[in-house]
Structure 1
Amino acid sequence: MSHFDFSREIKIRFYIVLLYYQYEYRKGGNRMRAIFVGVVAILLVATMGASATVTKVKWDGGGIVEVRWKSDDDAKMTCYTAGNKIKGRLIAEDKNDNPYGYGVDTSDVKVSARVKNGGEIEYWFKRTDSYKPMYGKAGQEVYTYIISDNKAKFKWHSWSNYAHYRSCNYGWQNDNQIVAKGEHYILHRFYVNKHNGASIEIGADGKTELTIMNEDHWGKSFKFGKGCGCYTNAKVTIKGEGFFNQVATAKHHLETDTGIEIDGNAYYQVYVEFTKGFHFGNFALEGE
């Protein structure tokens, strides 16, 4: 939406649990369970101007914080943090710039969240508008979920405009955007449509350091672990036992940085189980 309205509602909601919050996660017969007790201190600052609308949120304490943000009809985001001790900050910006008069503003979200003594983090960003005559349909999504009985942290940068979506973490968090310790589960996925995209799933007891510095989209094509006009930085190191599962699909063509190329309804998977550790130095790929 190109028109800026000072009366426009900023769609942010907070849920603060004063009694308790309980979660369970089951994987392979195992169960992770925790009870969170406490109060979260929240600071919200929203700045409206003719050039941009900037919303800044900080939280610190124990319990649950959920932020739901909408950049008019151009993009939307949900960030959820729950745990015995949680801390984070979020900067969401609707630039109200309407480049080239295409009717789609630039949207930008930066988030940093962490939990201690058990908790979970969930993040979702969806590009909901585009200039279709030249750049095709919107609908690109990035999603991350982390749960741990010990510690976890997450730093991410999402950006979208009339032409494409990007996760450009360079300069915000170059390495280890997703880290978890203890018994934990991680899911991250990036899909530009129902056919084209990639995901990584990890379940482990130990410590995981996962780096996905960039993701990029143009038309129906995508880049995972690379893009944004920057160097490739896509790696994972896991200490302990567990599994690693990467899946990518592409309707026409898919190729990995390790030299694999697949044509026509491509399906690519790397699945590994381990007892003492695992390292993958470059899992970057692209498809269309």
Structure 2
Amino acid sequence: MDGDRAGELSADYAAARPRLVRVAYAILGSMSEAEDVVSDCWFKLVRADRRSRVQDVEGWSLVVVAREAMDVLRSARVRRETYPGPWLPEPVLSPMEDPADRVTLDESVSFALLVVLESLTPAERTAWVLHDLFGMTFEDVAATVGRSPAAVRQLAARARRHVSQGAPRIDVDRDQHRQVVERFLAAAAGGDLRALVAMLDPAAVLTSDGGGKANAARRPVRGAEQVARFMLGVMDRMEPGHVLTPMAVNGALGVAVYDHGRIDTVVSFTVSGGLLHRIDFIRTPDKLR
């Protein structure tokens, strides 16, 4: 490969890379694994281009990334079956002062959506992500996942039903989400149990992912009053070295807890209809890079 072609290929891949990472992340729920898949794709692209010039770098790479992400997810599912306690996706963090148009992760890949996608099979998840999130045709998705277009339609339809049943509305206005979370955090800081319960859906759930490496609830906490009391307990256990910092978690207001300057916990909130439906604590150190 001559220098001009190497530079051209590198530039084309760099332009495609943000979308490739979003696709892999939506399929895997792990940014670190998504970045590994996309990095591996680059080497495959170089080798393929040496054999025969790749005309559509993004299209070629998207197929390779989606296939490898689906394979990685299959093996990851086996590991997650023996995971100590609940498994939550790896959050993507950015400062809240960033304007909305600078959030690098597509808002459609919200944390709440990633949690729901865990209920899908790898094939269902890949078909739904590629078609419903990223607008690929069923024919292109079929070529990617190695199924017929009719089979892919069925996979996407089943996934769509699971997503609609498993998630509250996730297209909440950013300002409404912020207002609800800010009021909830203020009530928690003030120890106001009644106010907390009033802001929680009666069927609210709180999940904590410690991965066996950090203290965490081994089972989800369910019900508005139980979740509210758990939150007050967390606030009571805050130590002088702990600092709560507002942070965009997958594009929506959440909280990062720092312990003497080191990130210790990330909290994601799912808001719908003016109420909190989910609160997720991510405490596994490997997910808090």
Q: Under a length normalisation based on structure 2, what TM-score does the superposition of the two structures give? A: 0.25
Q: Under a length normalisation based on structure 1, what TM-score does the superposition of the two structures give? A: 0.25
Which protein has greater RCO, CA pairs closer than 8 Å, 6+ apart? 2
Bigger fraction of residues in helix: 2
Structure with max Cα Rg:
2
